[in-house]
Amino acid sequence: MRKVLSYVTIAILLSCIVLGSVVQAESHAVMDDQKLSSINKTISMDSPKVDKDKILLPKFTNNGKILVDKTYEGRYPGLVLMNTSKKVQEDKSGFDVIENPSSFIVRMKKSEANLEKQLSADSSDVSASALAASSTVYITGAYYNWYWIQDVIFDNQITIYNAGPNTASGQVILWSLEDSYGYAAPFNNLAPYTSTTVTVPFMPLSGTSIGFKPIGTEVRVSPGDTTTHFVNLTAYSGTYGIEVYDNDANHLPDPDGGENIGVSDLYNQYNYAILREAATAAECVEETYNAFDTSNSIRFYVSSNMNSNDGYPYSQYTASDQYIISHGYEGMCDEYATLAVSFERALRIPAKYYSMDYRDTSGILRGHAFLVIWDGNRWVHSDPAFCSSFDDPQIYKRFGYTHIHLKNMRYADDSVVMSDPYGDQLLLQWNDFQIITDLGEPSEYN
């Protein structure tokens, strides 16, 4: 796990549920529904901002967490546990070719010259483990998947070379180094000085943590199941595995049939840069094991890293996730919500973007944006811009706000309005959504 806490003090102090707190909502004045299509966001001069020193650390339930022990070896064919005290023969020469030939795949290859360096290094520093093997077998290539959906099997191809002197049999293992388990696949009767490619199926276990997963591979030779070569694939490629939730009927299905994990012109969540950021958000405090806790961590991360900016273009447009990240994590409440929705969907947690209009304590009609996430049982409120609040839909009412009216902003599409430049990652706040579903004034918010 990689812990990342940016712009925030760990000594978190105060709740912001009390009226008059220094941490309040970022809001903008709105017009009536007939004029919403031409609205520009504006912020009153006294609009308060999120105080990052008072953002509450999430409290995690750790529901669903499993301990991977010996019982799993019998339940899941091919699963093996790592002996963390065992010394292994690690790679010494690296890989020459590292590329991403397609989505979610990394390919690595060791050239013959590079292999010679490995052989030379090992001849002068041979471990007792390697000496016990009948032949020394090396890993010379890997074609592996880094996008890990829990409880879904995917194949990885590991190429090995038998450096002799004898015919070799054994197994190749792909490891989740953080979780200390992997899956093994056999190879048999590999002749000296020849290569073969072994397909190693891998299934990330539901109940292990969401986010970054360093990946390794190992070859063991019979007799004695002796390790002759180990490679930390992530160390060489720079590409972590990223573990995400499963949206099938038995795990975390989207109640709307997949709409709330889909991509759009605001949410580009299935590229590696966004997924890396989402994984960072998921474990920025500690590891999380269920959608509720992961979403709370994302809320905390977005609140802690975003910087309020009510200038152009944020005053007129809603920026996409890629725009926000590449422009210094700035924006207004809709950018906070957009980034959080993108991170949720990247990790396959269903999430909706909500627009809200309400009457403030002076009776002025104002607007706001937040999100809701599906935790497997209900839609949970999350608002990184308003007190960094989570699972607290009554917070607006406690501030004295009334007539809280919600709209579900669906299918963001920068091409809806022809006069708005397409592809600039800046969308008109109302016009560039294909569907806007009016939810009225839900009782849980009023």
Percent of the chain with pLDDT over 90: 67
On the question of pLDDT at 422 being above 80, the answer is: no
| pLDDT score recorded for residue 31 | 34
Measured CA to CA, the distance from residue 291 to residue 350 in angstroms comes to: 9
The pTM (predicted TM-score) of the whole model is: 0.86
| pLDDT score recorded for residue 123 | 60
Question: Which of 11-15, 327-331, 340-344 shows the lowest per-residue confidence on average (mean pLDDT)?
Answer: 11-15
- 3 state SS of 54: helix
The residue ranking higher by pLDDT, 302 or 34, is: 302
Measured CA to CA, the distance from residue 336 to residue 298 in angstroms comes to: 11
Average per-residue pLDDT in the chain? 85
| pLDDT score recorded for residue 378 | 98
| pLDDT score recorded for residue 342 | 97
Class of domain 28-63+254-445: alpha beta
8 Å CB contact between 58 and 286: no
Residue 133 binned pLDDT confidence (cut-offs 50, 70, 90): low
Residue 2 binned pLDDT confidence (cut-offs 50, 70, 90): very low
The residue ranking higher by pLDDT, 39 or 428, is: 428
Q: What pLDDT digit, counting tens, does each position of 318-341 carry?
A: 999 999 999 999 999 999 999 999
Same fold for the domain at 28-63+254-445 and the one at 70-244?
no
On the question of pLDDT at 9 being above 80, the answer is: no
| pLDDT score recorded for residue 103 | 81
Q: Which position has the token pair 């199926």?
A: 201
Residue 423 binned pLDDT confidence (cut-offs 50, 70, 90): confident
Which token pair is 20?
């008059």
Which token pair is 71?
């019982």
| pLDDT score recorded for residue 113 | 80
Domain map of the chain by residue range?
Answer: 28-63+254-445, 70-244
On the question of pLDDT at 3 being above 50, the answer is: no
Residue 52 binned pLDDT confidence (cut-offs 50, 70, 90): low
On the question of pLDDT at 13 being above 50, the answer is: no
On the question of pLDDT at 128 being above 80, the answer is: no
| pLDDT score recorded for residue 51 | 62
Tell me yes or no: is domain 70-244 CATH 3.40.1000: no
- 3 state SS of 256: coil
The CA distances from residue 167 to 75, 140, 161, 164, in Å, are 32, 17, 11, 7
| pLDDT score recorded for residue 89 | 65
Of 403, 366, 362, 409, nearest in space to 386 by CA: 366
The residue ranking higher by pLDDT, 202 or 417, is: 202
Q: What pLDDT digit, counting tens, does each position of 272-319 carry?
A: 889 999 999 999 999 999 999 999 999 999 999 999 999 999 988 899
Q: What pLDDT digit, counting tens, does each position of 164-182 carry?
A: 999 999 999 999 999 999 9
Q: Which position has the token pair 């010259």?
A: 113
Secondary element (H or E) of residue 75: helix 70-75
